[in-house]
């Protein structure tokens, strides 16, 4: 069978080694005679898996001891709501930095739950000559008080990533759904990090929450217990039945990352993949990227054909070449190659080779 490279933004490809192990263990996990999907989440075997997965994630991200790690339901959108309900009681206010589609969606959810008066927004993307650039003003110059500042460091739809640390006098809440563990970060700079699993962690249905203990002392809004971080801490993420198969696969991805050199090694490969693809796009007469170089995502490379009449041909021919899910998000059009941790360098090389051939065929 010919090799297929999946550039889907999410659910995204998983490491082949992890998928092969899951396939081999599907009917009999850990010599239990049953699938991990059929095993009680309260069994000693699954509890051991859960404990090890947390330990591995803590090691991979160097998570300090005063942070809790939760494995929760709801994906990223679920956390849009959970963040508001967990931290904005008693008329608290929050500041949302907007740099793309997902941070805008978080704003919409926050305003729906807390009301317009409790949510301030700050657009941090400037566009000039068709190019988007992130510009973050001094937050310390703002004469207000906030419970937290929310932002999305990697916007999958827009292909924008923020690499600089944000200097905030208030706790930072970051939606890292699409770039968690793609490069090293200092977790202690954040009050809370959350991530839907379906990009760099595992299948959809699971979300990771890393929350500093002191934030759990903030007053809450009324909410469902299943999305209450304090309940999650109290019950070790098992207030009810968690998405056990997704948790199992996440645990295997953590093992794979550790065996492959950890986050530092992954960051090096990710930089190489992104540099290769952007370098070709920048030198092309057919393709273009519309994000300033310093803000180009290393996870979601967006690009456009200057002759848009070739879009359908590009997608048809790329799929025939074993390069799938390259269509850009419906809201922005164009193309998008999502090159998360599981995407090997060989996949990006195959894409560049195809783009070169396509350009030679259709230019002139």
Query: Domains of the chain, with CATH numbers?
Result: 17-259 (3.40.640.10), 261-362 (3.90.1150.10)
32, 37, 41, 42 alpha-carbon torsion, rounded to 10°: -30
User: For 52-103, where are the E strands, in sequence order?
Assistant: 67-72, 94-98
Active site residues: 102, 175, 199
Residue 43 per-residue DSSP state: S
Q: Which residues of 2-27 are buried (b: 16+ CB within 10 A; e: fewer)?
A: eeebbbbbbbbbbbeebeeebeebee
- Strand 154-155, strand 160-161: pairing: antiparallel
At residue 235, the pLDDT reads: 94
Is 212 in contact with 86 (CB distance < 8 Å)? no
For the chain (length 364 residues), average pLDDT per consecutive 10?
Answer: 87 96 94 92 94 98 98 90 92 94 94 92 95 96 95 96 96 97 98 96 95 94 91 94 94 97 98 98 97 98 96 97 96 95 98 97 82
Both tokens of residue 54? Answer: 């947390």
At residue 364, the pLDDT reads: 63
Both tokens of residue 7? Answer: 């550039």
At residue 91, the pLDDT reads: 85
Omega of the bond prior to 229 within 30 degrees of 0, cis?
Answer: no
341, 343, 349, 352 alpha-carbon torsion, rounded to 10°: -100
Is 212 in contact with 66 (CB distance < 8 Å)? yes
């Amino acid at each position: 069978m010919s090799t297929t490279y999946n550039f889907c933004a999410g659910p995204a490809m998983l490491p082949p080694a992890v998928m092969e192990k899951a396939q081999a263990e599907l009917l009999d996990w850990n010599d239990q005679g049953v699938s991990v999907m059929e095993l009680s989440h309260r069994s000693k075997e699954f509890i051991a898996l859960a404990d090890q997965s947390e330990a591995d994630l803590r090691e991979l991200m160097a998570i300090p001891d005063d942070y809790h790690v939760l494995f929760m339901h709801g994906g990223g959108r679920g956390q849009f709501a959970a963040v508001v309900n967990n931290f904005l009681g008693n008329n608290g206010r929050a500041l949302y930095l907007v740099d793309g589609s997902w941070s805008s969606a978080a704003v919409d959810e926050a305003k729906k739950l807390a009301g317009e008066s409790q949510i301030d927004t700050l657009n941090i993307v400037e566009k000039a000559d068709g190019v988007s650039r992130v510009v973050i003003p001094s937050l310390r110059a703002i004469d207000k008080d906030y419970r937290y500042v929310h932002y999305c460091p990697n916007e999958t739809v827009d292909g924008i990533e923020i690499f600089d640390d944000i200097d905030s006098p208030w706790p930072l809440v970051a939606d890292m759904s699409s770039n968690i563990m793609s490069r090293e970060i200092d977790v202690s700079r954040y009050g809370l990090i959350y991530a839907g699993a379906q990009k760099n962690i595992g299948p959809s249905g699971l979300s990771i929450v890393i929350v500093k203990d002191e934030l759990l002392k903030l007053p809450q809004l009324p909410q469902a217990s299943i999305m209450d971080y304090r309940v999650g801490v109290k019950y070790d993420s098992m207030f009810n039945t968690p998405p056990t198969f997704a948790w199992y696969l996440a645990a295997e991805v953590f093992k794979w990352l550790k065996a492959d050199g950890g986050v530092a090694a992954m960051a090096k490969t990710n930089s190489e993949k992104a540099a290769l693809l952007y370098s070709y796009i920048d030198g092309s007469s057919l393709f273009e990227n519309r994000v300033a170089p310093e803000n180009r995502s290393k996870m979601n490379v967006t690009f456009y054909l200057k002759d848009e009449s070739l879009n359908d041909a590009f997608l048809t021919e790329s799929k025939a070449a074993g390069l799938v899910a390259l269509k850009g998000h419906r809201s922005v059009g164009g193309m998008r190659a999502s090159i998360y941790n599981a995407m090997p360098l060989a996949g990006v090389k195959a894409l560049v080779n195809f783009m070169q051939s396509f350009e030679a065929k259709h230019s002139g």
